[in-house]
Each structure stands twice: as structure tokens, then as C-alpha cells.
Amino acid sequence: MRTRVFIVNDDTFPSHLKYLFAGTGAKDKDEDVALLSDIKRVRPGDFVLFYIEATAKVKGGFYGIFKIANQVPLVFHTPGQEGFQPNLGKKLIYRTLIEPYEVYSEGVPEWEVLDKLPVYATEIQWSLIYRKLKGKRGCTPLLPWEAQRLIDMIRNRNRGRLF
């Protein structure tokens, strides 16, 4: 199972849901080779989870489950095009279409996924911890066991009730 986590905030997340896309950007730059290589690795059918950044008014957490849509082209990028559309407040230069798979209304808080230490060190979400501390990337790939564990946490949080 190939899974990616896309970072969003409480302002951009509704647009991602309304227009069914996942995207990433690098401040005001029109190009970023590292982010482009990240998003170019997505394939139709890959899973997508969103991480909403925590703020004073939003607790943040992980939400999903979406899939990369069957589409051509897979990645949208037009140099010079307005990367703030539709009304994002943050420039997203690389985008891919998504479709709902299992969408749940309750997210899993960051502290539960990353900071609440499991009994065994092999269960720590190392890919997400690296992204948080060093990577600062908007399209983080997860190892298969990490993805399954995070998806199971989202399903369990919602007791299987889809949105």
C-alpha cells in the first residue's frame, strides 16, 4: 500500500476537500525540485492522508482516507500560473487530483500518532517524526506498516463510521 501524507492548514483544507486535490508548495517559489520529485512519485490508487497543522484554534491531526485519482496528467504545474487559486492563502505549485475512499469526520491528534510512545520502538512512526523534525516536506511517503497503522488509527477513532 503506497500512502502519502499531505500537510494542510485550517484555511486550505476546505479547498482540498471541495476541489478534491492534494498539493504542495515552497513558500512563494514557482519551482522546487525536491517537492516535484516527491509528488511525481504518486500513482493512481495510492492512498492520501491529510495532516492539518495545529494552531491556537485548531487541534490538528491526521484525516483521510483518499486515493490519487486516475488522471492524465498526474501532476499539475504551470509556471507563472496563480498558485494561490482557489483562494488558498498559500501557494501550491504541484497538485494531483484525489477521490474519496473512506472519509471520516474525526481526525487522529498528532500527539497520539507521534508523541504517545508505543510499547515497542518498531511501532514508532519514524517517517512522520523525521518529516516533523527535519523534512518539512508537504508530501511525505509512509512505509507500508506505518500507513496501515495510521489508517487503522483513523478507522478506530471513527469506529468505522464514514463521513
**Dihedral (CA of 141, 147, 153, 156) sign:** positive
**Single-letter amino acid, residue 110:** E
For residue 48, give its domain range: 3-157
Does 163 fall in a domain? no
- Is the model's pTM score more than 0.75? yes
Residue pLDDT, tens place only, 77-129:
666 666 666 766 677 888 899 999 999 989 998 878 776 666 555 566 656 66
Q: Does 116 fall in a domain? A: yes
On whether residue 49 sits in a domain, the answer given is yes
| 51 Cβ neighbours under 8 A, 6+ residues apart | 5, 6, 7, 8, 60, 61, 62, 63, 110
Say whether 29 sits in a helix, a strand or coil.
Answer: coil
Please compute the mean of the pLDDT values over residues 128-145 and round it to a whole number. 69
Q: Which CATH number is 83's domain given?
A: 3.10.590.10
Q: What is the total count of domains within the chain?
A: 1
Q: Is 162 part of any domain? A: no
Average pLDDT, the chain: 81
Q: Report if residue 16 sits inside a domain.
A: yes
Residue 133 lies in a domain: yes
Q: Provide the percentage of residues in the chain whose pLDDT is more than 70.
A: 77
Question: Looking at the domain assignment, is residue 92 inside a domain?
Answer: yes
